[in-house]
Amino acid sequence: MPRLSSLAVSLSFVLVAFGCAPATAPRLADVTLRGGDGSVRPISEVARGAPLTVVTFFSAACPCQRAHDPVLRDLFARFRGRGVAFVAVDSEARATPTADAAEARERAYPYPLLTDAGGALADALHAEYATYSVILDTSLRVRYRGAIDSDKNHLHDDARRYLGDALERLLAGGEPEHAETEALGCTLRRR
């Protein structure tokens, strides 16, 4: 075993020396987001005061996103009285705070749609798809990540309600039945 670990350490130095080392995601607490009003908000501020914060990654062009807008509005209405914060985040390359503010108004989002210029939050939370949702606790620890539900863009009454179920279990002091599920939205256009 000592030979294997020294080989791994040597390989790591070679990868770093030649610029091939994987990029490290930024620390979650250091990520800031921009609002349509020009504000700059650290993710820690977005989550401040809430026992849980739902972060859902957004794409204006994604049909799965549009199909799930009513589901997200319903989840917000269901859980806001229990202190849960919601935020949509646009990490796509062409995202702007002005366009995101217009999208939020057009879609009647009762929660903010913030811009993640450069995709730092998407990198920190490993978001690759629209509708990918993460539940953070007060210490910004990820408690759930993945799909809103088991539907893609044609919603069914018998869909598994992953996000809502995870919120219910966490608020009751338990753990989600599924801590991670597969997000079903469009690929976030990061370039």
**Residue 14 in domain:** no
Question: pLDDT for 116-149, tens place per residue?
Answer: 999 999 999 999 999 999 999 999 999 999 999 8
CATH at 85? 3.40.30.10
In a domain, 119, yes or no: yes
Residue 94 falls inside a structural domain: yes
Question: Is pTM beyond 0.85 here?
Answer: no
* Structural domain that includes position 53: 25-171
For the chain, the domain total comes to 1
pLDDT at position 80, please?
A: 96
- Decide if 126 is inside a domain: yes
pLDDT at 20: 42
The SS3 call for residue 146 is strand
Q: Is residue 83 part of a domain?
A: yes
CA distances from 142 to 49, 117, 132, 150, 186 (A): 16, 21, 13, 20, 22
> Locate tokens 């490993």: which residue?
126
Q: What pLDDT shows up at residue 112?
A: 94
Task: Spell out the residues 6+ positions from residue 116 whose beta carbon is closer than 8 angstroms to its own.
Answer: 31, 33, 89, 90, 91, 95, 122
Residue 62 falls inside a structural domain? yes
pLDDT digits (tens, 9 = 90+) for 66-110: 999 999 999 999 999 999 999 999 999 999 999 999 999 999 999
At residue 184 the predicted structure's pLDDT band, cuts being 50, 70 and 90, is confident
How far is Cα 180 from Cα 183, in angstroms, rounded to an integer? 9
pLDDT per residue as tens digits for the range 6-44? 333 333 333 333 444 444 556 888 899 999 888 999 999
Report if residue 47 sits inside a domain: yes
Q: How confident is residue 1, by pLDDT bands cut at 50, 70 and 90?
A: very low
Closest CA to 131 of 65, 191, 60: 65
Q: Which helix (H) or strand (E) holds 86?
A: strand 85-90
Residue 4 lies in a domain: no
